[in-house]
Amino acid sequence: MGIGVDVKDAYSESGIRVHNRRTGNSGESIDFEANAQVTKPFIREFFLEGSLPYDTDQIVGDIMDFIVVNTDYMFMNKTPIVFENEVYEFSGVYYKCNVSGEILRPSGEVRDTDTYELKEKFNLIESNVYALQTEPLFGTELNTDEMLGVLQIEKDELYIPSSYNIQVLDRYQPVSGEYYKVNKVLKRRYNGIDVCTLEEDNR
């Protein structure tokens, strides 16, 4: 594993240190660069390509804090790079997290003590839920053939780790007082990442 060790040492010297929110590991360094499609502002803002050491503890769906820039990214893809039948590094893709809200789940109705109207009751399922929420683009920024897995967005979409187990009809609150209902959960577009379609939630 001589090549892998050398590559890892190079990342330690010239890469960026990251903190894995799942494992608590803050000792790993990676190399990254902005996506090559620099003419698209959305892609430049939210997508990074990275190179990781051969013994990384990152798995798809991990939320990684890029410590120096103080920004959280979702680890989307992990591809082994092989030389002479040994993995000496991994390449990966990161999506920038622009929300860290709450998942709430409906649990029946409750009567309002002032108006006596029946309202949906919600239980908190998970807080500090890091994700990428994208607003409708209607074809102005992305084309369907420009990047694997990124489609023309005509409704709000939420890219979220599968570990949160978000479900249809859940409510996602990216910031206090702003609510979205989960209409659909796509579990097969990415391994370890769910893609949800959202609409404003007035329940």
From 32, 67, 96, give the residue that closes a domain.
96
pTM: 0.84
* Triad 177, 152, 156: Cα angle to 5°: 10
Around Cβ 161, how many Cβ atoms within 10 Å?
Answer: 24
119 and 45 share one domain: no
By residue count, the chain amounts to: 203
Checking if the pLDDT of 44 tops 50, the result is yes
CB 126 within 8 A of CB 164: yes
What pLDDT is attached to residue 33?
A: 83
From 43, 61, 96, give the residue that closes a domain.
96
Checking if the pLDDT of 30 tops 70, the result is yes
89 and 21 share one domain: yes
Around Cβ 116, how many Cβ atoms within 10 Å?
Answer: 7
Average pLDDT over residues 24-48: 82
Checking if the pLDDT of 153 tops 70, the result is no
CB 66 within 8 A of CB 97: no
State both tokens at 86: 């040994």
77 closest CA partner among 142, 183, 154, 159: 159
Domain limits for position 37: 2-96
Average pLDDT over residues 46-56: 94
Across 6-10, 84-88, 126-130, the highest mean pLDDT is recorded for 126-130
For 115: left if phi > 0, alpha if psi spans -120 to 50, otherwise beta; the answer is alpha
Q: What are phi and psi of 40, to 5 degrees?
A: -100, 110
Task: Name the pLDDT band for 1 (thresholds 50, 70, 90).
Answer: low
Checking if the pLDDT of 109 tops 60, the result is yes
From 64, 96, 128, give the residue that closes a domain.
96
Output 63 or 114, whichever has higher pLDDT. Answer: 63
Spatial distance between the Cα atoms of 109 and 122, rounded to a whole number of angstroms: 9
118 and 148 share one domain: yes
Checking if the pLDDT of 145 tops 60, the result is no
Would you say the C-alpha torsion 57, 45, 15, 71 has a positive or negative sign? Answer: negative
Query: For position 121, which CATH number holds?
Result: 2.40.10
Residue 162 per-residue DSSP state: G
What pLDDT is attached to residue 97?
A: 97
What pLDDT is attached to residue 110?
A: 84
Mean pLDDT of the chain: 87
CB 51 within 8 A of CB 58: no
60 and 127 share one domain: no
Q: Classify burial at 92, counting beta carbons within 10 Å of its beta carbon; exposed 0-12, middle 13-18, buried 19 or more.
A: buried
Strand stretches in 40-117, DSSP E: 47-53, 63-66, 71-83, 86-96, 99-111
What pLDDT is attached to residue 113?
A: 78
Which residues, in sequence order, are bridge partners of residue 18?
28, 66
171 and 183 share one domain: yes
